[in-house]
Structure 1
Amino acid sequence: MPMTELLVYAPGLRDDDKLMQLSHQMDMLSARYKVDAPHDMVYFEIDEPEKANLRQFNDLFENIGLQPRFVGQIPPELKSGSDTDRLV
C-alpha cells in the first residue's frame, strides 16, 4: 500500500512546550512528521495507514491541549469506518 499523507493545522503549536509535547505524543502513532512551527502546521507521512485512524491524530493534538484542523481532503484509509465523522 502506498504512503498516506495528512496535513494538520494546530493553532498554538509554535509554542516550544507544545512542540516538545507533540514529540512525546508521537510514540502513539506509526508515522513520520515534519513541523512548520511558524505556521502551526504538521505534515504526516503514514506508511501503514491501516494501523492508524483519524481519531488517533485528533487525540494526539487534544492530549497536548490543541484543537487540530485537518487541511484538504481526509485520506479515506484514515477514516474510522463509521458513516459519521466528527467535524474538526
Structure 2
Amino acid sequence: MAQGARLYADGYQGHARPVVDVDREVLLGATFVGPGVSELLHSTTIAVAGEIPLKRLRHATAAFPTIGEIWLFLLAAYQRDQETDG
C-alpha cells in the first residue's frame, strides 16, 4: 500500500496498473480502482498527453503524502520489471 493511501483511509484497498509504451518509455494510460482515485486522473492525463518520459515522471510525483504516491510504487515496479526482462 502506498504511504499516502494510509492517510486517506485506514485499511485502504485499491488497484493501479500503468500502460507503458516500452519502446519509448512513456505512459499510454493507467487503470485505477478504489476510493479517491479521481485524485490520480489529472496527473495521468498530463503525463499521457505530454508524453513525459518515465524517468522524468518519477520526479514529478506529489511531494506531500497523498494517494498520488502510488506513482512512486508503479514506476519502481516498472523499472524492476525492465531490469529483470532485459
- Structure whose residues are more often strand by fraction: 1
- Structure whose residues are more often helix by fraction: 2
* Higher RCO (CA < 8 A, seq sep 6+): 1
